[in-house]
Amino acid sequence: MTTVLVVEDDATYRGALARALKREGFDPYEADGVESACAFAATGKPAFAVIDLRLGDGSGIDVVRELARAVPDCRSILLTGHGTIPAAVEAMRAGASDFRTKPISTAELVDTLRRSAEAAGSGTPDPLDRAEREHILKMLDACGGNISEAARRLKLHRRTLQRKLQKLPTTG
C-alpha cells in the first residue's frame, strides 16, 4: 500500500481525509502539526503528503521543505482555505507538487494524487514546460502575486495566465 502523510491540525477533517484515502487503497498516517509530520518523514518515508498550509505549530510549507530534504521522492500536496498566489509560489518553490484550496472532494484529492504519481513515473518533465513554469513563478513573485501585472509583463491575457497557472507542470 502507498503511504500518505496527512498533516492537518483539525482532527475531524484529518480523520475524514485519512478514512477517505484508506477507502481508496492508500495507507494514511495522520500528523497534527509540523513537529509530528517532520518526525514521521524521517522514518516513515511517505510516497505522498497532503498538508494543510496553516497548522497550529507552524506552516505547512515547513513540512514541504523537510519532506523535500528527507524524502525527495515524496509528492507533497498543500491544501488551504486561504489560497493566495504568493503562498502558491512559495509552496511550489519549497517543493510542493500541487497547491489546492479547501474544501476538496475525495475524488479530486485522489485524482490529484494519482496524476502526481503519473507525473513522477513519466520521468523528467519537458525542459520547456519546466522553463515556462519557473519563468511564470518568477514573474508572479516579482509582481507580488498580482496576476494582472504579471500577465502584462508576460504579454499574456490575464485569463490565459490563470489557465496556465492551473495547468502548470509539477517540479521534477
Give the Cα separation of 170 and 28 in Å (integer): 22
By DSSP bridging, strand 48-52 and strand 2-7 are parallel
* pTM recorded for the entire structure: 0.70
Structural domains in the chain, sorted by start: 2-121 (3.40.50.2300), 127-166 (1.10.10.60)
Q: Which tens digit of pLDDT belongs to each residue from 121-164?
A: 644 444 446 667 777 888 888 888 888 998 898 888 888 888 77
Q: How far apart are the first and last CA of the chain?
A: 23
Residue ranges of alpha helices (H) inside 24-84 are 34-44, 60-70
